[in-house]
Chain A
Amino acid sequence: MAFNIDQIRSDFPILNQKVNGKPLIYFDNAATTQKPLPVIQRLTDYYLKENSNVHRGVHHLSQVATEIYENARNYVAEYIHAEESDEIVFTRGTTESINLLSRALVPWIEANDEILISAMEHHSNLVPWQQLCAERKAKLKIIPLNEDGSLDMNFLEKMLNPQVKLLAITHISNVLGTINPVEEIIRIAHEKGVPVLLDGAQGIAHSPVDVKASGVDFYTFSGHKIYAPMGIGVLYGRKTWLRRLPPYQFGGEMIDQVSFDRTTFNQLPYKYEAGTPNVSGALGLEAALRYVSEIGIDKIINYEEKLLTRATEKLEEIEGMRIIGRAKNKAAVLSFVVNGIHPYDLGTLLDQMGVAVRTGHHCAQPLIDMLGIPGTVRASFALYNTPEEVDVFAEAVKKAVAMLM
């Protein structure tokens, strides 16, 4: 399918509105993306025709719901090239996926073990590990960054000692836009026998994901960052791992046999899906992944790259502009500050001009503190944004800066 921007925009009716009297320019896609009609339609169809609880009933609707829910799992597995669909655990999102894993790993972490993360992590790939380390008297070690916001690969290699039990790192930074060289990272870590978790919250929408080729042990993502509904996400875990790790929540669905004395647990992936799952969310996720796949992730990446380049060039014309994150490999995230101007002021004025951006620390406080700034303004792009929007945005930034100077 050709990349037809008009067709794509017509799939996202929410974009067609005015904010403060100006046409909405939605550049807050790293926070959440808008949903295309096929996704919305999928949710509607489910509730109009197919809603029932899964895996329990003998009746027709329950069987339909179970089948479509499991088909969604199969499609997610296919999309990220998992070997088996049992390796796909549905969660609420990246945060729950990482929390699940950090809880399941408790017995595996001993005193003086180390967990490695990078200095560019979102709080959701930092706090769970920090808490786990505190609980087990283990050490959280931070891989530093280079000046340009890329990962310091030399340090990574040096830090991978025999005490390291896990390397948990983001695929793409939500603040800097840095695309980490994940295949190389995984190869180096595996040479030292260290398993790798990738936080794919941003990666899923701006990169192809192939868990088989990369050999990654765990990959986590949220549906809502890739045009799917909120409240659905995925923990991919290599089967050899998920089999031996203990469950994390207990209740219905995740059990095999229960008596008042003891319980045996269900097989994968149900061992990790206690309670009634988010069936409509899973269906919405499938619809979203199919939508992306039909257009082609490579075409999307290529298109977003052009938007990023154009926006970067235009912003650089502004005096006092400081682009935060200049790694060579960068995805559709553009963070910046302007000397002497608070990001909050800039964001407020941009909102007056109909431009939705995010300001602040983007849930990465240690990184922002390290950079010595109060936060950034972040514009982040998606497949429905246009070069014309980028131009309006750049003009709006110029206008706001002139007002604030």
Chain B
Amino acid sequence: MTISEKEQSILNEFSLFEDWMDKYSYLIELGKELPLIDEKYKTNQYLISGCQSRVWLHAELKEGKVILTADSDAVITKGIVSLLIKVWSGQSPDDILHASTGFLEEIGLKEHLSPTRANGMLSMIKQIRLYARAFQIKLNK
């Protein structure tokens, strides 16, 4: 699936929820379900410090695609991280660099991407783009 197809499928899922409680319960479920990252990457080297909740991120290039894994100590943050990974992991560096986070806004999670939120989300997105850029350069060599 392309990024936009994946975004659409998440938008469809979220359109079923009637109130904030359903939405957050689903995010929490996503957060709890996903064993996102290999324990050996849960070190300071892969830590994105977001002040309040911590996010660990690992990226590697496999057959021209970026494989992302991540984790967070806060479950709601983890839920949102897993949405981003669903959409972006397995895509090419080019596609990731061209993608936006607009779908998170559409499902009403915009406030989590605010720089004042101190949850590490914004730094994580920046870091993913840095990885994608590095992989892109590597592929074009």
Q: Chain A: residues with CB nearer than 8 A to chain B?
A: 20, 342-345, 348-349, 352, 359-360, 374-375, 403-404
Determine the residue in chain B with the shortest Cβ distance to A347. Answer: B52
B residues in contact with A20, CB < 8 Å: 20
Docked-complex contact B52 and A344, CB < 8 angstroms: yes
Q: A352-B20, A352-B24 are contacts. A342–B51 as well, Cβ < 8 Å?
A: no
Task: With both chains docked as a complex, state the minimum distance between the C-beta of B90 and any C-beta of chain A, in angstroms.
Answer: 28
Q: A360-B51, A403-B25, A403-B28 are contacts. A348–B76 as well, Cβ < 8 Å?
A: yes
B74 at the A interface (CB under 8 A): yes
Docked-complex contact B74 and A344, CB < 8 angstroms: yes
Docked-complex contact B53 and A342, CB < 8 angstroms: yes
Contact of B28 (CB < 8 Å), options: A343, A359, A404: A404
Docked-complex contact A344 and B20, CB < 8 angstroms: no
Interface centre among A345, A352, A360, A375 (most CB of B within 10 A): A345
A residues in contact with B75, CB < 8 Å: 342, 345, 404
A residues in contact with B20, CB < 8 Å: 20, 352
What separation, in Å, do the CA atoms of A155 and B21 have in the docked complex? 49
What separation, in Å, do the CA atoms of A404 and B21 have in the docked complex? 11
Q: What are 7 contact pairs spanning A and B, CB under 8 A?
A: A342-B73, A348-B24, A348-B76, A352-B20, A359-B52, A375-B52, A404-B75
Given contacts A345-B76, A374-B52, A403-B25, list 4 more A-B pairs with CB under 8 A. Answer: A342-B53, A342-B73, A344-B52, A348-B24
Determine the residue in chain A with the shortest Cβ distance to B118. Answer: A360
What separation, in Å, do the CA atoms of A344 and B74 have in the docked complex? 7
Docked-complex contact A374 and B25, CB < 8 angstroms: no
Task: With both chains docked as a complex, state the minimum distance between the C-beta of B14 and any C-beta of chain A, in angstroms.
Answer: 15
Interface size class of B (residues with CB under 8 A): 10 to 19
Docked-complex contact B28 and A374, CB < 8 angstroms: no
B92 at the A interface (CB under 8 A): no
Task: With both chains docked as a complex, state the minimum distance between the C-beta of A216 and any C-beta of chain B, in angstroms.
Answer: 34
A residues in contact with B73, CB < 8 Å: 342, 374
Against A, the Cβ 8 Å flags (1 = close, 0 = not) of B111-123 are 0100000110000
Determine the residue in chain B with the shortest Cβ distance to A343. Answer: B52
B residues in contact with A359, CB < 8 Å: 52
What separation, in Å, do the CA atoms of A352 and B20 have in the docked complex? 7
Determine the residue in chain A with the shortest Cβ distance to B119. Answer: A344
What separation, in Å, do the CA atoms of A374 and B49 have in the docked complex? 13
Interface centre among B21, B25, B53 (most CB of A within 10 A): B53
B82 at the A interface (CB under 8 A): no
What separation, in Å, do the CA atoms of A349 and B25 have in the docked complex? 10
What separation, in Å, do the CA atoms of A374 and B112 have in the docked complex? 19
The 7 closest A-B pairs by CB, nearest first: A342-B74, A344-B74, A344-B53, A344-B52, A360-B52, A345-B76, A352-B20
Docked-complex contact B76 and A344, CB < 8 angstroms: yes
B77 at the A interface (CB under 8 A): yes
Q: Considering the complex, which residues of chain B in the window 36-95 have a beta carbon less than 8 Å from any beta carbon of chain A?
A: 51-53, 73-77
B residues in contact with A342, CB < 8 Å: 53, 73-75
A residues in contact with B28, CB < 8 Å: 345, 403-404
B residues in contact with A403, CB < 8 Å: 21, 24-25, 28
B residues in contact with A360, CB < 8 Å: 51-52, 118
Task: With both chains docked as a complex, state the minimum distance between the C-beta of B25 and any C-beta of chain A, in angstroms.
Answer: 6
What separation, in Å, do the CA atoms of A375 and B54 have in the docked complex? 12
Determine the residue in chain B with the shortest Cβ distance to A399. Answer: B21
A residues in contact with B74, CB < 8 Å: 342, 344-345
B residues in contact with A349, CB < 8 Å: 24, 76
Task: With both chains docked as a complex, state the minimum distance between the C-beta of A381 and any C-beta of chain B, in angstroms.
Answer: 22
A residues in contact with B21, CB < 8 Å: 352, 403
Task: With both chains docked as a complex, state the minimum distance between the C-beta of B116 and any C-beta of chain A, in angstroms.
Answer: 12
Determine the residue in chain A with the shortest Cβ distance to B53. Answer: A344
What separation, in Å, do the CA atoms of A348 and B118 have in the docked complex? 12
B residues in contact with A344, CB < 8 Å: 52-53, 74, 76-77, 119
What separation, in Å, do the CA atoms of A342 and B28 have in the docked complex? 12
B residues in contact with A375, CB < 8 Å: 52
B residues in contact with A404, CB < 8 Å: 28, 75
Determine the residue in chain A with the shortest Cβ distance to B29. Answer: A403
What separation, in Å, do the CA atoms of A404 and B77 have in the docked complex? 12
What separation, in Å, do the CA atoms of A343 and B73 have in the docked complex? 10
Determine the residue in chain B with the shortest Cβ distance to A360. Answer: B52
